[in-house]
Structure 1
């Protein structure tokens, strides 16, 4: 059987399968079951800076507006600064997971300002996070902002966080950079240790009857995996950053494809949300059998075997394949 142990971001993992950022973070029993089933690490759900700010401002407005309504109001409402708000509950959860799980726990941060990112990152390190995943969910919506401006802002955030913490920092990217290899080179120079490819954009749906926007989470499918494989295969050997595949991994074969493309680890979310921890056991078993049947003794032998740098028909990853694919349709 193939040895599935690996090393990611300087952390020793018993398996390349990682529980990705998801609501499962709030279910300790489910996380324990995933670890028993073969998960090598756990990524917490993201701490969103703007959500904290919104909650804090709402509390300030609610309490402070009433303390001045009449002379006796202060006897009923405490000042807002006495309330415990912010990242405390997230940090407490992080500490609990560190104490309860015998695999690395990675904190996830989605911020909007350099100061906010660095401040929360320092708190996460102090709470015991083995690493931090920066979720660069920053869709461009301002016509006056160029791609260069947006990318420079993101690189500044990465650099600021990497300089403030001693634990490894990985960066979760979207697939929408016009020159992904160049931006990845910038993230490495800024101090990142790893990449997570790619972020899934949860976009609002339209309710035509109510004439309003609605939120609906749609789970991924294996059909989303090829985009990740392409990005990882293209970058393998061209960057010193370790890569994690995220999105579209539902089977052991999906995980094997990601590793053969060049991924160090594979994050699983939608399959776990749909099936529960038994999906981790299934994928773990399927992956081990597949790699063993292919003759790989360990993951180092398999990693990147079908990347752009190593595949026997590597030009299939490139633009020429697009024309051939279209002309080959019947």
Structure 2
């Protein structure tokens, strides 16, 4: 029996906004070995990410002197920001796997700015490109180019020409028409400064007398760096290691450690097989805080039209293309 407000689909959609593993290109050795233009390093990004990670390592020495509330606040902000990516930029805007009313869309836009991983529009465009051209040079973080490239190296070099060319061909009219996406795009830099750095640092200082220095390094810097790497692991580790029970022909895999760190985004073989499923998993809330969040919003009447794949379709796909299939 379907949960309230869940749309049951009998076959995977091939909508351009979501993509489908049924139409994802099969990557051959010849494709992987194709000649690429020389990579052009973006030294500004190299320096900034190096400084961020060094600052995050330094943050670790401040943990023993931090107030317990500061540690709890940092953990809360980690989840708050993560949901902006997972429930917001990913499942709502990139895949349109469910719909949300204006209050939740505004909240998710704030959460997305807290995560500071590019605006909703840019993140969604790159992700749609990733699904449509997965593991090719048109994939922004092509895992065929190695762990480091798919994890963070793709952000340290100029985009491959195929990413730019194919990205311009994607259907993005839905995002351009969304006022929340447009406003966030326009106010992205000040919103990031406010929600990613200022608010996380000021709350411990104002409400329980934490050192502003400690709160900045733990609730802003360390939390932000950990959040980035959790998201990057979906692009790297979850495209390399794990089980492939739904489609053994593709790289994305079920990786429980990634699911845990990325609040539910590690069921990646399922997600690339059924990208239109709002839960990105057939197991509901299991290691999937994002699905719990969306279902809670649906219970409150703020999310609806959650797209879900029927169990018989999932079972049939496992038998046809999963690791246990002929």
- TM-score (norm. length: structure 2): 0.25
Structure having the higher strand fraction is 1
What is the TM-score when the length of structure 1 is the normalising length? 0.25
Higher relative contact order (CA 8 A, sep 6+): 2
Report which of the two has the higher share of helix.
2
Choose 1 or 2 for highest CA Rg. 1
